[in-house]
């Protein structure tokens, strides 16, 4: 049983009602597929606009920033272990390194036991703890450099296909 489906085509090419929704006597019977556009509105397939490249570039930059933040805060390797690098962990490392510096100035040779991302622990000397803070800064910098490189590729992209090939791996 073929049922007739009616559509109302607006002057701007969008569809305001279709498939069992209200329609009026001036409604058109569609002979082509209805698709949802990038803007959430419905169009006849032949009139569906494509998203402007500049909008796609903005979305790609946001995607890169999100991936960069996840990588930067997802942990980094140092001395064969993976350490947390979320905001609180960074603050803890900085505070621990400052405290260790003060204790070194008092001519003590302390160590600090640090819990790694896998919940194993490692004893760090003052020098190793300072190296941990340096490794954290280097990790953060690598994440930002990678994001900058990808964003440069985004700016140079001239097609949607080129944008789609820019990914954070």
Rounded distance between C-alpha atoms, residue 69 and residue 59, angstroms: 15
Three-state DSSP at 146 gives helix
Tokens of 27: 């409604």
Torsion over CA: 34, 38, 40, 41 (sign) = negative
- Mean pLDDT to the nearest integer, 75-84: 97
pLDDT in tens, 105-163: 776 678 899 999 999 999 999 899 999 999 999 999 999 999 999 999 999 999 999 99
Count of beta carbons in the 10 Å neighbourhood of residue 110: 14
CA 73 to chain centre: 12
- Provide the pairing of β-strand 81-83 with 111-115: unpaired
Rounded distance between C-alpha atoms, residue 31 and residue 42, angstroms: 15
Q: Is 153 left (phi over 0), alpha (psi -120 to 50) or beta?
A: alpha
Torsion over CA: 65, 71, 74, 77 (sign) = negative
pLDDT-based confidence at residue 23 (cuts at 50, 70, 90) = very low
């Amino acid at each position: 049983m073929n049922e007739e489906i009616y559509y109302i085509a607006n002057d701007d090419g969008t569809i305001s009602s279709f498939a069992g929704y209200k329609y009026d006597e001036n409604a058109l019977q569609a002979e082509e597929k209805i698709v949802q556009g990038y803007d959430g509105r419905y169009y006849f397939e032949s009139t569906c606009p494509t998203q402007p490249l500049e909008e796609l570039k903005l979305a790609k930059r946001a995607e890169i920033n999100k991936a960069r933040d996840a990588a930067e805060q997802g942990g980094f390797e140092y001395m064969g272990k993976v350490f947390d690098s979320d905001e609180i962990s960074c603050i803890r490392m900085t505070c621990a390194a400052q405290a260790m510096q003060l204790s070194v100035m008092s001519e003590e040779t302390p160590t600090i036991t640090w819990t790694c991302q896998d919940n194993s622990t490692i004893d760090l000397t003052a020098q190793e703890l300072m190296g941990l803070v340096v490794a954290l800064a280097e990790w953060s910098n690598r994440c930002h450099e990678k994001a900058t490189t990808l964003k440069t590729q985004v700016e140079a992209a001239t097609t949607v296909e080129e944008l789609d090939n820019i990914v954070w791996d």
